[in-house]
A and B are shown apart, each in its own frame.
Chain A
Amino acid sequence: MGQAIYNILVFPGLFFLILFGWAAEFIDRKIYARGQKRVGPPWYQPVADFIKLAAKEDIVPEEASATSFKLMPLIAMASAVTAFFYIPLWTTEALFSFYGDIIVVMYLLTIPTLTFFLGGWYSRSLYSTIGAMRTLTQLFAYEVPLFVVILASALLANTWSLSEITKFYALHPHLWIFNLLGFGIGIIALLGKLEKGPFDIPEAETEIVAGSFTEYGGRLLAFFRLTLDIEVIVGASLLAAVFLPFGLNLTPAIGFVIYIIKVLFIVILLAVLRTILARFRIDQMLDFCWRYLAPLAFIQILINLLVKGLLLR
């Protein structure tokens, strides 16, 4: 019991996630700044932002539904943290695991996006309503390719559990090569899920102020920002577990270092993509995702079916 509480709250749970999320946000902002020939923020910037926001006044708009408005950041953070427990990190065994947890993780990672929509919708402001609608429209574009590539990887491993998938790829170390296309699609879809880079349409500052978060301030905004930081780590860990199955059977210390390197590699990749690409319009994004990303994801399924039929006899 005590061990479980320690695992959930401290390591590798909430506390570790928050620290790692802040580190990832700093790396992301620093790379973004260096890409623009700036110096960039100091290393403690995400911590200072969180402390400042947490110490500010909470304002709930008069028109907004107060309970839902205040509840949304907490639901978002709880679901993002819960998804983390089912992902295998530096061993082939996740903290908790059961047959079919891959579906649960995918849905838990969808809930923060839905809370961004509901939070924006309940604030009853014009900008947040537009942002909320864009969040939902974008969800339909990136979610299908992301689901399909992760399920394609599960198809090859012939299981519905994330721990079983990593066990399978640890046993067959060369099969990850066939999933490279899926990894690329996963990275692009993750950019959409995190509302970053070319897909930051729902919170486009130059068009709709701050999107869904326009009316959020103080502690509630601090929790939303923390949720986004945590989601980066959870999403990167998911992609690392499914597509980069290296160093899983080593000692925990070396495995942990390799896990950190894998996640940081994905975080840096996301930051570089965010720096070099300009924002799409929402219709261009939908067009791109449905016309190119989704068919490529189905090609990934085809590749995995062929590999399964020809190589894994």
Chain B
Amino acid sequence: MGLIKKIVTWGRTKSPWVLHFNTGACNACDIEIIAALTPRYDLERFGVLLKGSPRHADVLLCSGPVTRQIGDRLKRIYDQMPEPKFVVAVGTCACSGGVFKGCYNIESGIDQVLPVAAYIPGCPASPKAIIDAVVKLLKSLEES
């Protein structure tokens, strides 16, 4: 049993497929996420692929403070992903709400709606920070 679990964990850490979802960001973090996926940084080295369908994805990359309108949609996208799944909050707004914290029309952070596995601060979070967070998330998976 231990060996099979080890092999499965190895597979999971070597092949995280990401889904990118804008939860009301100003687009700066989205551009940085796209930049991290371009040939310049080449995330396929770590097995990371950008997928369009929630059914294929393992990691949900969210950027932006969750607006009231997009909260339900975010939950629905999360429910469509098969287990095991992880949510990564990209940017200060996604971590805590940022400059919009306490605004009447936002939820102030992804963790108000979904369980978050990794936070990436920065306005916007740089591609290097995003790669660092993904690697740290995979390491924590390996250890647990």
**A interface residues with partner B (beta carbon < 8 Å):** 29, 33, 36-42, 44-45, 47-52, 54-59, 127, 205, 209-210, 213-218, 221
Contacts and interface: CB of A to CB of B under 8 A. Distances in A.
Give the dominant DSSP class at A's interface: loop
A216 B82 CA distance: 10
Contact of A38 (B44, B51, B84): B44
Given A41-B47, A58-B82, A52 B11 contact: yes
Nearest to A205: B52
B127 to A, nearest CB: 14
Contacts of A47: 11
A48 B51 contact: no
A43 B135 CA distance: 19
B68 interface: no
A52 B58 contact: yes
Contacts of B44: 29, 33, 38-41
Contact of B82 (A50, A57, A209, A214): A57
Contacts of B52: 205, 209-210, 214
A150 to B, nearest CB: 34
11 contacts: A36-B39, A41-B45, A45-B15, A49-B47, A52-B58, A55-B8, A55-B11, A56-B84, A127-B53, A209-B53, A215-B55
Contacts of A205: 51-52
B51 A210 contact: yes
Interface of B: 7-8, 10-12, 14-15, 39, 42, 44-45, 47, 51-53, 55-56, 58, 80, 82-84
Contacts of A44: 14
Contacts of A56: 58, 82-84
Given A40-B44, A42-B45, A59-B82, A51 B56 contact: no
Contacts of A210: 51-53, 56
B12 to A, nearest CB: 5
B5 to A, nearest CB: 9
A42 B53 CA distance: 24
Given A48-B14, A215-B53, 17 more contacts: A36-B39, A39-B42, A39-B45, A48-B10, A48-B11, A49-B47, A50-B11, A51-B7, A52-B8, A52-B12, A52-B58, A55-B12, A56-B58, A57-B83, A58-B82, A214-B55, A218-B82
Contacts of A36: 39
Nearest to A219: B82
A210 B56 CA distance: 9
Nearest to B52: A209
Contact of A217 (B8, B39, B47, B56): B56
Contacts of B80: 59
A224 to B, nearest CB: 11
A205 B8 CA distance: 27
Contacts of A216: 55-56
Contacts of B15: 45, 48-49, 51-52
A210 B55 CA distance: 10
B39 A45 contact: no
Contact of B55 (A38, A41, A217): A217
A39 B11 CA distance: 20
A295 B53 CA distance: 39
Most A C-beta atoms less than 10 A away, residue of B15, B42, B52, B55: B55
Most B C-beta atoms less than 10 A away, residue of A29, A40, A56, A221: A56
A205 B57 CA distance: 14
Contacts of A218: 82
B10 A37 contact: no
Contacts of B7: 51
Contacts of B42: 33, 38-40
A308 to B, nearest CB: 49
Nearest to B42: A38
Contacts of A215: 53, 55
